[in-house]
Structure 1
């Protein structure tokens, strides 16, 4: 059995306040109120709020004793953020969705699942789901219901972990659930028995996991769970919560390089995302696929339509692609465990990739033929930064150059790039606000050049290309050159309206305005005109432009591509 060294924090000191007192009573000087007989919606909200405050107070201490997945730890932070997400979901829920214990716990469970951080956050979401499932539709929770709820929480949390390990939060939860089944059925006995047994199980974790004994700490996740149990006991009994924080010695170099509590040090990244549209069979298939990529796999749901996925792996792209194969991943987060470890396992399968974001089947096919990874924006509904992040990581390239064909993507793209860079991928966005600028950039792309030089070349080519477009106005408005009615034809130059032709549009008016736009763009010089035709472009527009340029600008070369954009008649680029 592990023996604490002189000065080391004794594991038994983690027992929480009065709840672990062997007499079962409160410590001297603690005021008491009549114990609750049932938990109603108000008590559930009071507990959730108290959990956030208590986890906030204990966060740093829990982080410090966390030896998993890296020595500087984040279990306390992850539990706090997950519980905050749960409380926020409860507070934002409609009144009729939080007017009873059952509906309030369901809101907490869903919020925790949606905002789960780390493996500890996933487990917390399943604890809350277990409580919610047991009292589904009930206005209050009795002691007997809490007993069943803790057992259900134990089942769900254990099922959420691919390879349960003794000496972790699961051991603490199991002990609490078992103890809750003993003695009288009243609410006070159930929760105080659970908290007392959880404290004893937590104290025993260093004897179950050598990594904890080596570092002189108890399990951080179990410590966080005990905070929640003690907080619930305080709410039920009306006694002041007295939770003693474990003192921790400064780590020795040996303890700082200790192995992981769970999972293999072979895997350098934690990948998490939410998943919609998944069947139970799909979830099981995803677990198997992720199990082949890494460890610490969790694929768990809220009992309805939302799932959360967690895995430690090296191949981030493959982990996201596995989710795409069974549903729709979103809110993707990637964290690197140990930047200080120099020897990292191979993550990327190629050095470079170019990602193009454009609308229209013709444009998409054009850029795919150039070897780019293409997202056809016309086929994506409500594009989010998580969707863009999924594209970036799925390239499995060390360095990614992004060529956006629209100026409207900046906000989502910035967030996706930030997440990808934080996960160790080198991502650069070349300012391209139109498919014609994307064409100019990709025309000078040379994979044999140094990555930095290649990006500079593409950026210079895009910047040297003036962009124009012709589209029908979708609303009434005022522009720099006059008033516009819905259906009028607009000629835009570098994003600004410069020409207006009253609608409705006809082949003749479209052709005339396109020629005027090209003439205006060539007024500043140019040798090459590139046109990308939208889905609604007249069939003879390319021939009309060619004839016009041959007569008015015979020195200019014209290149035309079918684009298929649904909302733009023609894009024009001048170089």
Structure 2
């Protein structure tokens, strides 16, 4: 019998949506040709809804109510949003929750109609340049058609209208018509709306949140060559990177952020509110996109994906073809993230105090969409999580090699010699050798008194750690950095790499470079702005 949209119905909606996307995600990945044919729309939508469903479960397991469940759904989708489609879906769910989280009145059907309308309006506002023939069009059709005397009837009418709008998308967007497919994001939205209709119709969801597996029904829409015989997946001249991050920023700062990002690339979507935003854009200049976020507030959970090669390698007749080889690097700063991404790596950025779990790293391996993957943990403490992610990837048929880099400077050295055209084993050996030949050091500020291998340090002392052990206790960053460089270069070296953290003084690099130039004539120096929060200076010597 029809249900009201109470807390249990919200949970049922999320679980049924997750189940539906799990069944359809390979199908959706396969028809993903817009805005970039990177073959991951179904996966991104699944992960976005999974985050929403887990948030709802957490609230309701703690005896939360309907309002808390709806807000948890919106928040979970926002922080877990992946890709262009997942970001738009998060805004749609947020728009609905803004209306539905109010205390339900006697006319729940009217409230649901208003929620569909609010969701549509907020999604269009979030996208910098809305395009018809996409999931936005599907959302608008659902909002326009939502009608009925009961909430279940409203949801069912919206779902049926969304299905019809989806079928019409190939005639609205040339890239879809050329490929003979419907919009992938719209296909996912139809699954989510169908789950809402089922939840309000009393359909019982699965007890646990599980992925029903990778076996999907045959793709119902062709994905072969276009009418002119060309590969419709190729996007000539498009941006090479997808950048996504969460941003803590005042609402007043977002207008300027949108304007700046809009001039950097395309597929710009900024969703959220009340101080927390999810930013998505396709760009060539990764550093500029991240810097825009830094100027607006505090970006974190930064994800950078290099998909230019994926778009060019996409195959007709099925899902996007995997690239041969990719590198996944875990780093601790925005500058390091941009540096590694520009070198072609898929990046997982570590938030201070919140190291990534194996599942997040495994998802980055999937985003790399490669047959062979080289992993760079760049931190001894993260090696276990990276190893677990490697095991997950191997179980999914990916050939994985983990190079035990203990510092970002070792990861930079490994990336510098990475050559995808070599045999996998040869490439891994060369990268491992380059990393192993790079001695590393950190210059940090002691937070409290402690015993070290160099003696007793006090809070505020500057410590120089060489290869993980405290070797120097100094009074300031320049003094300690100079001593550390001298000790490392005493054993020989041709190149010193300096990676500046967020707390490094403006003249630190210049003073250390001058010292190396004056005292070690045959040594070159290279400086990077790493942006790491906890370590003012990283040093590498090769």
TM norm. shorter chain > 0.5: yes
Q: Residue 92 of structure 2 corresponds to which residue in structure 1?
A: 127
Residue 207 of structure 1 and its aligned partner are, at CA, apart by 1.6
Q: Residue 111 of structure 2 corresponds to which residue in structure 1?
A: 145
Aligned equivalent of 1:136, options 101, 108, 116: 101
* SS of match in other structure, 1:295: strand
Q: Residue 21 of structure 2 corresponds to which residue in structure 1?
A: 55
Contact 1:86 1:110 in 2 (8 A): yes
Number of residue equivalences: 402
Q: Residue 556 of structure 1 corresponds to which residue in structure 2?
A: none
Q: Deviations for 1:51-98, whole angstroms, at most 9, x for unmatched residues?
A: 1111000111111122124445211111101101111222234766x6
Residue 136 of structure 1 and its aligned partner are, at CA, apart by 2.8
Matches within 5 A, 1:8-47: 34-36=1-3, 38-47=4-13
Matches within 5 A, 1:137-286: 137-138=102-103, 142-180=108-146, 182-184=147-149, 186-238=150-202, 247-249=220-222, 251-252=224-225, 257-258=231-232, 265-280=237-252, 282-286=253-257
Contact 1:154 1:173 in 2 (8 A): yes
Matches within 5 A, 1:314-333: 314-333=284-303
Change (3 A) 1:389 1:101: same
Distance in 1 between the 2:445 and 2:31 partners? 61
Change (3 A) 1:427 1:316: farther
Distance in 1 between the 2:78 and 2:117 partners? 19
Change (3 A) 1:234 1:342: closer
Aligned equivalent of 2:304, options 312, 321, 334: 334
Gaps of 5+ in 2: 206-215, 314-328, 346-351, 381-408, 420-430, 476-483, 493-533, 536-542
Change (3 A) 1:310 1:429: closer
Distance in 1 between the 2:444 and 2:335 partners? 32
Residue 395 of structure 1 and its aligned partner are, at CA, apart by 9.4
* SS of match in other structure, 1:312: strand
Change (3 A) 1:492 1:168: closer
Contact 1:100 1:139 in 2 (8 A): no
Change (3 A) 1:149 1:492: closer
Change (3 A) 1:322 1:196: same
Change (3 A) 1:322 1:491: closer
Residue 138 of structure 1 and its aligned partner are, at CA, apart by 2.4
Distance in 2 between the 1:226 and 1:485 partners? 61
Aligned equivalent of 2:79, options 114, 119, 125: 114
Residue 151 of structure 1 and its aligned partner are, at CA, apart by 0.4
Residue 481 of structure 1 and its aligned partner are, at CA, apart by 13
Q: Deviations for 1:287-326, whole angstroms, at most 9, x for unmatched residues?
A: 111111111111221x322101111111111111111111
Residue 258 of structure 1 and its aligned partner are, at CA, apart by 2.0
Residue 153 of structure 1 and its aligned partner are, at CA, apart by 0.3
Matches within 5 A, 1:544-563: none
Q: Deviations for 1:469-490, whole angstroms, at most 9, x for unmatched residues?
A: 999995789x9999x9999x99
* Runs of 4+ in structure 1 over 6 Å off: 394-397, 418-424, 426-432, 449-452, 455-462, 467-473, 479-482, 484-487, 489-494, 496-499
Gaps of 5+ in 1: 1-33, 344-383, 401-407, 433-440, 500-506, 508-517, 528-566, 569-575
Q: Deviations for 1:354-400, whole angstroms, at most 9, x for unmatched residues?
A: xxxxxxxxxxxxxxxxxxxxxxxxxxxxxx96651444416997599
Q: 2:61 aligned with 1:90, yes or no?
A: no
After TM superposition, the score normalised by the length of structure 2 is 0.60
Distance in 2 between the 1:481 and 1:394 partners? 33
Contact 1:64 1:72 in 2 (8 A): no
Distance in 1 between the 2:465 and 2:127 partners? 56
Change (3 A) 1:44 1:190: same
Distance in 1 between the 2:45 and 2:444 partners? 52
